[in-house]
Copies of this chain bind each other. A is one copy, B any other.
Amino acid sequence: MKAVLFEAEYAPREGYRLTEREETTHKIRNGSQVWRNPSFSVADLPIPEPKSDEVLIEVKACGYCGSDVHCYETGTEGYVVYPATVAAPIVLGHEFSGVIKKLGSSVTGFRVGDLVTAEEMQWCGECKACRSGLVNQCRTIEEIGFTVNGGMAEYTTCKARYVWKINDLLTRYGDEDKAFEAGAMVEPTGVAYNAIFNEAGGFRPGAFAVVFGTGPIGLCSIALLRAAGATRIIAFEVGKTRAELAGRFGADMVFDPVALAREGRALSDLILEETDGEGADVLVEASGVPALVLPASTPSLAMDGKVVQIGRAPRPVKLDLEDFIVRGATLSASIGHSGFGTFGNVIRLMAAGNIDVTPAITGRYKLENALEGFERLGSREDAKLMIRM
């Protein structure tokens, strides 16, 4: 079968201390410290065989994620820029959907022919975090498309316990193409869902919201905020395509923070103005540059307001805690999309028509041309690119 294969030279940087597990498995916790001179190819690999607790999935759609691109791009001395866990060689791809082709011997609850998607986070179910229901904090996590082969391939296998049926999406859309594309969007939507509703505890309907960054996660956040009763959504985005999509996803207004800076307009003043002085009840940070946007916006938090940090935060963020103190405000942060029934809820929201995030898909590639997508994503012009089989 064809598959997008990430290969790289194993060359631990001086000073990076490999754990025993890293040495044995080459599942490196910080890829940017070990993997040099990456090469990407659409390789020919054998179709995997599902183990007893796995299913074999014929992949139909698989999104590109920013993380994938970070394995493609290189920084100093030819090392990849991806700073999180990744093994090599590995088949990339963790936002996928497809059809079950084969069931492992002990799998129940699924049938050949089921339309499905899967969680990227392969929680162990055994560690203290997992036993406590905090599976996104699993201490021995495996990740599809990073430490086990992923979905940028004609076929992939996955433990049944990470797999979710999306047959209802076909019922909703009456169209396989759209059903599979929506299915491949469940994972990123789940990331936004988990951040807003599980970790930050949601909000009371009627809330005013702000979203920083309207890439795929920001767009999904807008859709979810609207679907859960936000009454005003103010988005900030520099990219033109993404800004246009923000409106389509439910943002009431979209501003370009760079243009505002040029005009000397403070973000917090603008937000206060656009919320009739009441401030933002929910402030979703999905821009990846919290160090820029949070200090500029926390003075506009409403009483009892919430900052929801989703994007990773590579640099420390200078917060004026007085903004939080006088308002009784909170900041919550999260990672992942697993647990809490999140995939189930996201699929229900799509299947019932409460949200439709497929318009975030701004480009599609055949598997054989998958490498073109990596090139194009580098420009950060697009929202979601997708490989279609």
**A residues at B contact (CB < 8 Å):** 109, 125-129, 131-137, 160-161, 193, 197-200, 202, 204-208, 224, 227-229, 231-232, 278, 290, 295, 303-304, 309, 312-314, 316-322, 324-335, 338-341, 344-349, 351-352, 354
In the assembled complex, 7 residue pairs joining A and B whose CB atoms fall closer than 8 Å, in A order, are A109-B126, A137-B303, A137-B326, A202-B204, A205-B228, A317-B318, A319-B319
Identical copies of this chain, number = 4
Q: In the bound complex, what is the Cα–Cα distance between A316 and B319 (angstroms)?
A: 5
Set of chain B residues within 8 Å of A349, measured between Cβ atoms = 205-206, 229, 231
Contact across chains for B206 and A348 when beta carbons are under 8 A apart:
yes
Bound Cα distance from A351 to B231, whole angstroms? 8
- Neighbour of A232 across the interface among B205, B319, B352, CB < 8 A: B352
Query: Which chain B positions have C-beta within 8 A of A227?
Result: 205, 229
Which residues on B sit within 8 Å (CB–CB) of A321? 290, 309, 313, 316-317, 333
Is A205 in contact with B197, judged by CB distance below 8 angstroms? yes
Task: Please pick, from B137, B229, B312, B317, the residue contacting A328 in the complex, using a CB distance under 8 A.
Answer: B137
Most chain B beta-carbon neighbours within 10 Å: one of A160, A208, A320, A328? A328
A326 to B139, alpha carbons, bound, how many Å? 11
A207 vs B229: C-alpha distance when bound (angstroms): 14
Contacts of A295 in B (CB 8 A): 316
Tell whether, in the assembled complex, residue B354 and residue A229 are in contact, meaning their CB atoms are under 8 Å apart.
yes
B136, B290, B325, B351: which contacts A313 (Cβ < 8 A)?
Answer: B325
Task: Please indicate which of the listed interface residues A129, A193, A224 has the most CB atoms of chain B within 10 Å of its own CB.
Answer: A129
